[in-house]
Homo-oligomer: A and B are copies of this chain.
Amino acid sequence: MARVGYIGLGLMGAPMARNLMGAGHDLVVHNRSRAIVEQLASEGATPATSPREVAEQSDFVFTNLPDSPDVELVVLGADGVLAGAHAGMIYIDNSTIKPETARRIAAELEKVGAAGLDAPVSGGDIGAKAGTLSIMVGGPQEAYDRALPLFEVLGKTITRVGDSGAGQIAKAANQTVVAGTMVAMCEALVLAQKAGVDPARVVQAISRGAAQCWALDNKPAKLFKRDLAPGFKAYMQAKDLKIVVDTGRTYEVPLPLTAVTHQIFEAMIGMGNGDLDNSAVITVLEALASVQVGQAE
Protein backbone atom coordinates (compact mmCIF):
# COMPACT_ATOMS: atom_id res chain seq x y z
CA MET A 1 0.00 0.00 0.00
CA ALA A 2 1.24 3.47 -0.86
CA ARG A 3 1.45 6.71 1.07
CA VAL A 4 -1.06 8.91 -0.75
CA GLY A 5 -1.71 12.62 -0.28
CA TYR A 6 -4.86 14.41 -1.45
CA ILE A 7 -5.19 18.21 -1.58
CA GLY A 8 -8.50 19.85 -2.51
CA LEU A 9 -11.34 17.98 -0.84
CA GLY A 10 -14.35 19.46 -2.62
CA LEU A 11 -17.33 17.84 -4.34
CA MET A 12 -14.96 15.68 -6.43
CA GLY A 13 -11.83 15.49 -4.26
CA ALA A 14 -13.44 14.28 -1.03
CA PRO A 15 -15.07 11.12 -2.44
CA MET A 16 -11.95 10.37 -4.52
CA ALA A 17 -9.76 10.66 -1.40
CA ARG A 18 -12.18 8.42 0.49
CA ASN A 19 -12.00 5.77 -2.23
CA LEU A 20 -8.19 5.76 -2.04
CA MET A 21 -8.35 5.34 1.74
CA GLY A 22 -11.01 2.65 1.31
CA ALA A 23 -8.61 0.73 -0.96
CA GLY A 24 -6.19 0.52 1.98
CA HIS A 25 -3.77 3.35 1.23
CA ASP A 26 -2.35 5.62 3.96
CA LEU A 27 -3.99 8.96 3.26
CA VAL A 28 -2.65 12.42 4.12
CA VAL A 29 -5.06 15.27 3.42
CA HIS A 30 -5.06 19.04 3.14
CA ASN A 31 -7.75 21.57 2.24
CA ARG A 32 -8.22 25.33 2.54
CA SER A 33 -11.39 25.01 4.62
CA ARG A 34 -10.72 22.67 7.53
CA ALA A 35 -14.09 21.03 8.22
CA ILE A 36 -13.65 18.32 5.58
CA VAL A 37 -10.05 17.72 6.75
CA GLU A 38 -11.30 17.03 10.29
CA GLN A 39 -14.05 14.83 8.88
CA LEU A 40 -11.58 12.70 6.89
CA ALA A 41 -9.20 12.63 9.88
CA SER A 42 -12.03 11.13 11.93
CA GLU A 43 -12.30 8.45 9.23
CA GLY A 44 -8.61 7.59 9.50
CA ALA A 45 -6.70 10.09 7.34
CA THR A 46 -3.71 12.10 8.59
CA PRO A 47 -4.30 15.86 8.46
CA ALA A 48 -1.54 18.12 7.15
CA THR A 49 -1.16 21.88 7.49
CA SER A 50 0.32 22.65 4.05
CA PRO A 51 0.77 21.12 0.59
CA ARG A 52 4.51 20.91 1.37
CA GLU A 53 3.77 18.74 4.41
CA VAL A 54 1.50 16.49 2.32
CA ALA A 55 4.27 16.04 -0.26
CA GLU A 56 6.95 15.30 2.35
CA GLN A 57 4.85 12.43 3.73
CA SER A 58 3.60 10.94 0.42
CA ASP A 59 4.71 8.80 -2.54
CA PHE A 60 1.73 10.04 -4.60
CA VAL A 61 0.26 13.53 -4.22
CA PHE A 62 -3.12 14.34 -5.77
CA THR A 63 -4.67 17.77 -6.24
CA ASN A 64 -8.23 18.58 -7.23
CA LEU A 65 -8.70 22.34 -7.45
CA PRO A 66 -10.98 24.79 -9.28
CA ASP A 67 -8.67 26.41 -11.83
CA SER A 68 -5.13 26.92 -13.14
CA PRO A 69 -4.10 29.71 -10.68
CA ASP A 70 -5.17 27.53 -7.74
CA VAL A 71 -3.02 24.65 -8.94
CA GLU A 72 -0.06 26.97 -9.56
CA LEU A 73 -0.33 28.37 -6.04
CA VAL A 74 -0.69 24.97 -4.35
CA VAL A 75 2.20 23.38 -6.27
CA LEU A 76 4.64 26.21 -6.97
CA GLY A 77 3.74 28.66 -4.15
CA ALA A 78 5.31 28.99 -0.69
CA ASP A 79 4.97 25.74 1.27
CA GLY A 80 3.66 24.17 -1.94
CA VAL A 81 3.91 20.62 -3.25
CA LEU A 82 7.19 21.39 -5.05
CA ALA A 83 8.79 22.53 -1.77
CA GLY A 84 8.08 19.11 -0.29
CA ALA A 85 8.72 17.05 -3.40
CA HIS A 86 11.35 14.30 -3.39
CA ALA A 87 12.93 11.89 -5.86
CA GLY A 88 10.44 9.25 -7.00
CA MET A 89 7.38 11.19 -5.82
CA ILE A 90 4.54 11.30 -8.35
CA TYR A 91 2.28 14.34 -8.47
CA ILE A 92 -1.16 13.76 -10.02
CA ASP A 93 -3.49 16.66 -10.82
CA ASN A 94 -7.17 15.76 -11.18
CA SER A 95 -8.13 19.41 -11.80
CA THR A 96 -9.15 20.73 -15.21
CA ILE A 97 -6.58 23.41 -16.03
CA LYS A 98 -4.61 24.84 -18.95
CA PRO A 99 -2.33 22.31 -20.67
CA GLU A 100 0.56 24.81 -20.55
CA THR A 101 0.27 25.05 -16.77
CA ALA A 102 0.32 21.26 -16.50
CA ARG A 103 3.46 21.09 -18.65
CA ARG A 104 5.25 23.81 -16.67
CA ILE A 105 4.50 22.10 -13.34
CA ALA A 106 5.67 18.72 -14.67
CA ALA A 107 8.93 20.32 -15.82
CA GLU A 108 9.53 21.87 -12.38
CA LEU A 109 8.91 18.56 -10.63
CA GLU A 110 11.26 16.75 -12.98
CA LYS A 111 14.11 19.01 -11.82
CA VAL A 112 13.90 17.51 -8.32
CA GLY A 113 13.54 13.91 -9.55
CA ALA A 114 9.74 13.80 -9.12
CA ALA A 115 7.17 13.31 -11.90
CA GLY A 116 3.94 15.07 -12.77
CA LEU A 117 0.82 13.60 -14.38
CA ASP A 118 -2.12 15.70 -15.54
CA ALA A 119 -5.16 13.50 -14.97
CA PRO A 120 -8.41 15.45 -15.34
CA VAL A 121 -11.57 13.43 -14.87
CA SER A 122 -15.06 13.28 -16.29
CA GLY A 123 -18.14 11.71 -14.72
CA GLY A 124 -19.21 14.18 -12.01
CA ASP A 125 -19.59 13.65 -8.27
CA ILE A 126 -21.64 10.49 -8.95
CA GLY A 127 -18.68 8.98 -10.82
CA ALA A 128 -16.29 10.22 -8.13
CA LYS A 129 -18.26 8.45 -5.38
CA ALA A 130 -18.79 5.26 -7.39
CA GLY A 131 -15.17 5.11 -8.62
CA THR A 132 -16.36 5.06 -12.22
CA LEU A 133 -14.71 8.25 -13.55
CA SER A 134 -13.12 8.62 -16.96
CA ILE A 135 -9.51 9.67 -16.37
CA MET A 136 -7.48 11.30 -19.15
CA VAL A 137 -3.79 11.18 -18.37
CA GLY A 138 -0.77 13.05 -19.74
CA GLY A 139 2.81 12.44 -18.64
CA PRO A 140 5.68 9.94 -18.61
CA GLN A 141 4.77 6.31 -19.27
CA GLU A 142 6.75 5.07 -16.25
CA ALA A 143 4.95 7.39 -13.82
CA TYR A 144 1.63 6.43 -15.41
CA ASP A 145 2.38 2.73 -14.93
CA ARG A 146 3.22 3.26 -11.27
CA ALA A 147 0.08 5.36 -10.68
CA LEU A 148 -2.26 3.04 -12.60
CA PRO A 149 -3.38 0.98 -9.57
CA LEU A 150 -4.51 4.22 -7.92
CA PHE A 151 -6.33 5.37 -11.08
CA GLU A 152 -8.09 2.01 -11.13
CA VAL A 153 -9.47 2.74 -7.67
CA LEU A 154 -10.86 6.08 -8.89
CA GLY A 155 -12.11 5.35 -12.39
CA LYS A 156 -13.29 2.90 -14.98
CA THR A 157 -12.02 4.32 -18.31
CA ILE A 158 -8.37 5.24 -17.89
CA THR A 159 -6.43 6.44 -20.92
CA ARG A 160 -2.84 7.65 -21.15
CA VAL A 161 -3.40 10.12 -23.97
CA GLY A 162 0.22 11.20 -24.39
CA ASP A 163 2.96 13.29 -22.80
CA SER A 164 2.56 16.00 -20.21
CA GLY A 165 -0.46 18.22 -20.97
CA ALA A 166 -2.14 15.63 -23.19
CA GLY A 167 -4.65 14.75 -20.47
CA GLN A 168 -5.72 18.40 -20.31
CA ILE A 169 -5.96 18.57 -24.11
CA ALA A 170 -8.24 15.52 -24.05
CA LYS A 171 -10.36 17.15 -21.34
CA ALA A 172 -10.60 20.32 -23.45
CA ALA A 173 -11.71 18.20 -26.41
CA ASN A 174 -14.23 16.48 -24.14
CA GLN A 175 -15.71 19.77 -22.96
CA THR A 176 -15.96 21.08 -26.53
CA VAL A 177 -18.14 18.12 -27.47
CA VAL A 178 -20.10 18.01 -24.18
CA ALA A 179 -21.04 21.69 -24.38
CA GLY A 180 -21.64 21.59 -28.14
CA THR A 181 -24.06 18.67 -27.96
CA MET A 182 -25.81 20.23 -24.95
CA VAL A 183 -26.42 23.60 -26.64
CA ALA A 184 -27.38 21.98 -29.98
CA MET A 185 -29.92 19.80 -28.18
CA CYS A 186 -31.35 22.81 -26.33
CA GLU A 187 -31.73 24.78 -29.59
CA ALA A 188 -33.56 21.81 -31.10
CA LEU A 189 -35.94 21.50 -28.13
CA VAL A 190 -36.70 25.24 -27.99
CA LEU A 191 -37.35 25.36 -31.75
CA ALA A 192 -39.81 22.47 -31.48
CA GLN A 193 -41.60 24.00 -28.50
CA LYS A 194 -42.00 27.43 -30.09
CA ALA A 195 -43.14 25.87 -33.39
CA GLY A 196 -45.95 24.14 -31.50
CA VAL A 197 -44.55 20.61 -31.65
CA ASP A 198 -44.17 18.40 -28.56
CA PRO A 199 -40.41 18.34 -27.86
CA ALA A 200 -40.75 14.93 -26.18
CA ARG A 201 -42.01 13.46 -29.45
CA VAL A 202 -39.17 15.15 -31.30
CA VAL A 203 -36.68 13.53 -28.93
CA GLN A 204 -38.35 10.18 -29.55
CA ALA A 205 -38.16 10.71 -33.33
CA ILE A 206 -34.49 11.77 -33.55
CA SER A 207 -32.63 10.06 -30.71
CA ARG A 208 -31.85 6.77 -32.42
CA GLY A 209 -30.19 8.14 -35.58
CA ALA A 210 -27.24 10.38 -36.39
CA ALA A 211 -28.40 12.87 -33.73
CA GLN A 212 -27.93 10.30 -30.97
CA CYS A 213 -25.81 11.67 -28.13
CA TRP A 214 -25.37 11.32 -24.36
CA ALA A 215 -27.08 14.67 -23.82
CA LEU A 216 -30.19 13.62 -25.78
CA ASP A 217 -30.25 10.24 -24.01
CA ASN A 218 -29.97 11.65 -20.50
CA LYS A 219 -31.23 15.22 -20.21
CA PRO A 220 -34.62 15.85 -21.92
CA ALA A 221 -36.70 13.90 -19.36
CA LYS A 222 -35.17 16.02 -16.57
CA LEU A 223 -35.60 19.26 -18.49
CA PHE A 224 -39.28 18.53 -19.19
CA LYS A 225 -39.79 18.01 -15.43
CA ARG A 226 -37.87 21.27 -14.83
CA ASP A 227 -35.25 19.34 -12.87
CA LEU A 228 -32.25 21.65 -13.36
CA ALA A 229 -30.22 20.51 -10.34
CA PRO A 230 -26.55 19.64 -10.96
CA GLY A 231 -24.93 17.20 -12.05
CA PHE A 232 -22.20 19.29 -13.55
CA LYS A 233 -22.53 22.94 -12.64
CA ALA A 234 -22.78 25.45 -15.46
CA TYR A 235 -20.15 27.80 -14.01
CA MET A 236 -17.63 24.93 -14.10
CA GLN A 237 -18.66 24.22 -17.70
CA ALA A 238 -18.09 27.90 -18.52
CA LYS A 239 -14.70 27.86 -16.78
CA ASP A 240 -13.69 24.75 -18.74
CA LEU A 241 -14.84 26.35 -22.02
CA LYS A 242 -12.69 29.39 -21.27
CA ILE A 243 -9.74 26.99 -20.96
CA VAL A 244 -10.68 25.43 -24.32
CA VAL A 245 -10.89 28.79 -26.08
CA ASP A 246 -7.63 30.00 -24.44
CA THR A 247 -5.95 26.73 -25.45
CA GLY A 248 -7.19 27.26 -29.00
CA ARG A 249 -5.55 30.69 -28.96
CA THR A 250 -2.30 29.22 -27.63
CA TYR A 251 -2.11 26.68 -30.46
CA GLU A 252 -3.64 29.01 -33.09
CA VAL A 253 -6.76 26.90 -33.55
CA PRO A 254 -9.88 29.03 -34.19
CA LEU A 255 -12.89 27.34 -32.56
CA PRO A 256 -15.98 29.20 -33.84
CA LEU A 257 -18.55 26.76 -32.43
CA THR A 258 -16.88 26.47 -29.03
CA ALA A 259 -16.59 30.25 -28.83
CA VAL A 260 -20.37 30.48 -29.22
CA THR A 261 -21.11 27.73 -26.68
CA HIS A 262 -18.72 29.51 -24.27
CA GLN A 263 -20.59 32.80 -24.70
CA ILE A 264 -23.95 31.06 -24.20
CA PHE A 265 -22.72 29.54 -20.92
CA GLU A 266 -21.38 32.97 -19.86
CA ALA A 267 -24.86 34.36 -20.59
CA MET A 268 -26.31 31.64 -18.35
CA ILE A 269 -24.05 32.76 -15.50
CA GLY A 270 -25.09 36.36 -16.17
CA MET A 271 -28.71 35.25 -15.76
CA GLY A 272 -27.84 33.96 -12.29
CA ASN A 273 -28.11 30.31 -13.30
CA GLY A 274 -24.45 29.29 -12.91
CA ASP A 275 -25.18 26.88 -10.05
CA LEU A 276 -27.66 24.88 -12.13
CA ASP A 277 -26.81 21.83 -14.25
CA ASN A 278 -25.05 22.46 -17.56
CA SER A 279 -28.18 21.17 -19.35
CA ALA A 280 -30.02 24.16 -17.83
CA VAL A 281 -28.25 26.19 -20.53
CA ILE A 282 -31.66 25.71 -22.14
CA THR A 283 -32.75 28.71 -20.00
CA VAL A 284 -30.58 30.95 -22.22
CA LEU A 285 -32.18 29.69 -25.45
CA GLU A 286 -35.62 29.91 -23.83
CA ALA A 287 -34.97 33.54 -22.85
CA LEU A 288 -33.89 34.37 -26.42
CA ALA A 289 -37.06 32.78 -27.81
CA SER A 290 -39.48 33.85 -25.03
CA VAL A 291 -40.70 30.31 -24.49
CA GLN A 292 -40.33 27.54 -21.92
CA VAL A 293 -39.82 23.92 -22.90
CA GLY A 294 -42.15 21.35 -21.37
CA GLN A 295 -44.63 18.69 -22.27
CA ALA A 296 -46.57 20.32 -25.11
CA GLU A 297 -49.46 17.88 -25.07
Decide: A170 and B202 in contact? CB cutoff 8 A: yes
A188→B177 contact, CB < 8 A? yes
Given A170-B206, A184-B176, A254-B213 contact (CB < 8 Å): no
Could you tell me how many residues of chain A have their Cβ less than 8 Å away from some Cβ of chain B?
75
Within 8 A of B (CB), among A22-56: none
Known: A183-B180, A252-B289, A257-B261. A191 touches B172 (CB 8 A): yes
Q: Which chain A residues (134-177) contact chain B, with CB distance < 8 Å? A: 134, 136, 138, 157, 159-162, 165-166, 169-170, 172-174, 176-177
Given the complex, which residues of B lie within 8 Å of A159, measured CB to CB? Answer: 201, 204-205
| Chain A binding surface SS class | helix
Q: Which of A58-66, A87-95, A105-113, A192-200 contacts B (4 or more CB under 8 A)?
A: A192-200
Please state the number of chain copies in the assembly: 2
Q: How far is the CA of A115 from the CA of B252 in the complex (A)?
A: 55
CB distance from A201 to the nearest CB of B (A): 5
On A, residues with C-beta under 8 Å from B are 99, 122-123, 134, 136, 138, 157, 159-162, 165-166, 169-170, 172-174, 176-181, 183-185, 187-192, 194-198, 201-202, 204-206, 208-216, 232, 244, 247-248, 250-258, 260-261, 263-264, 285, 288-291, 297
Q: Which 5 A-B pairs have the closest CB atoms?
A: A180-B184, A173-B188, A213-B213, A159-B205, A177-B211
Given contacts A157-B208, A183-B257, 19 further A-B contacts (CB under 8 A): A99-B195, A122-B209, A161-B198, A166-B197, A166-B201, A170-B197, A172-B188, A174-B188, A176-B184, A176-B188, A180-B183, A187-B253, A195-B251, A213-B214, A253-B288, A253-B291, A256-B260, A256-B263, A260-B260
